[in-house]
Amino acid sequence: MNANTERIRIRGLQPEDSVTAITELLHVAYAPLAAMGFKYLATHQDEATTQRRLQSGISIVAELDGVIVGTVTLRAPKAESRCAWYSQSGVWSFGQFAVRPDLARNGLGTRLMSVIEESALQHGATELALDTAEGATHLIRWYERLGFRLIQHVSWDETNYRSVVMSKRLTAPNP
């Protein structure tokens, strides 16, 4: 474990958090995916888009010494979604998920995921879902190891690839 990771605090997004800093974090974290040819929105989105996506759900940040080093947004089911799975009640999803590259692969992403999983459960979710580029096999394998299964494909207007939708059944911990 990286010595820094123990000092990282995970908390809800606050109004004073810098959207500029979060946008920069997203660009730097998603850059390797852009280099692989996957034009995720987060590789190039502007600050207004970051803000809109942060406000689209429950946003969580990871903070190290006052600097935001990770983020993820949990979203409620959306009846009008183009993705059939996301439109079902009980299916919460997450996106805009990033950890600063120098801190990645130390378990922070898994910690952020646990926090949103717990939050989704508290809101009555029965499934936690995500979508990612179907060619991002390293991510798909990781999500599978975390218990996500393949559900369907979806193509978004703003990306240059087809996505896979993955989902994990949520069960409340025993009392």
Ligand X SMILES: CC(C)(COP(=O)(O)OP(=O)(O)OC[C@H]1O[C@@H](n2cnc3c(N)ncnc32)[C@H](O)[C@@H]1OP(=O)(O)O)[C@@H](O)C(=O)NCCC(=O)NCCS
Query: Does residue 142 bind ligand X (CB under 6 A)?
Result: yes
Instruction: Candidates 8, 30, 83, 127: give the one binding ligand X (CB under 6 A).
Output: 30
* Choices 16-24, 114-122, 132-140, 166-174 (CB under 6 A): range interacting with ligand X: 132-140
User: What's the closest the beta carbon of residue 2 comes to ligand X, in angstroms?
Assistant: 10
CB 31, min distance to ligand X, A = 8
Minimum CB distance to ligand X, residue 130 (Å): 6
Q: Does 169 bind ligand X (CB under 6 A)?
A: no
Decide if 130 contacts 107 (C-beta within 8 A): no
139 binding ligand X? (CB under 6 A): yes
Q: Which is nearer to ligand X, 89 or 110 (CB)?
A: 110
Residue that has been written with the tokens 């926090």 in this structure:
115
> Which window, 51-59, 83-91, 130-138, 167-175, contacts ligand X (CB under 6 A)?
130-138
How far apart are CB 160 and ligand X at their closest, in Å? 15
**DSSP secondary structure string for all residues of the chain:** --GGGGG-EEEE--TTS-HHHHHHHHHHHHHHHHHTT---GGGT--HHHHHHHHHTSEEEEEEETTEEEEEEEEE---TT-SSTGGGSTTEEEEEEEEE-GGGTTSSHHHHHHHHHHHHHHHTT-SEEEEEEETT-HHHHHHHHHTT-EEEEEE--TT-SS-EEEEEEE--PPP-
Counting contacts by CB under 6 A, is residue 105 touching ligand X?
Answer: yes
Based on the shown chain and the rule CB under 6 A, indicate whether residue 21 belongs to the binding site for ligand X: no
